[in-house]
Amino acid sequence: MLNYVTGFIFSEDLTHVVLLEKLSPSWQKGLFNGVGGKIENDELPAQAMVRECEEETGVFIRENDWVHYVHLKKPNYFELDVFFAISDLAFSAKSTEKEQVHILKINKLPKNIIPNLKWLIPLALDQSLKFNKPAIFIEN
């Protein structure tokens, strides 16, 4: 089973989000996705989120500043822990690897995004919700 994290850095006024234009895996090529990647064997999901964010964007966001709001799993295939952080460090994000970092207006997201971002981003921004623990979703 593969274990991943992905996260969204939102600007403090909640008008912008940091997304990466993916080159791989092949099914994601040309699509926008959150910052993230594989969880290493010795890491907790929040630690992986901190590491992946810094590696991919050059932005360091402390573990306690990430909100773990979704755990998505497809049995026998993958588990994905989804986080968000609200910080104007979003505007400091830069491409540090081959995949390009984009700081996008939330109300003008491109059509070529990973499909689940269409509900993951609004869920994170719903201020009527409190995420004491992540919501669990199981894909068939």
The domains of the chain, with CATH numbers, are: 2-138 (3.90.79.10)
Residue 68 neighbours by CB distance under 10 Å: 20
Strands 78-86 and 32-33: unpaired
Q: What percent of the chain has pLDDT over 90?
A: 94
- 46: β partners: none
pLDDT at 1 > cutoff 90: no
Collapsing DSSP to helix, strand or coil, 126 comes out as: coil
Average pLDDT over residues 115-129: 96
Residue 74 neighbours by CB distance under 10 Å: 14
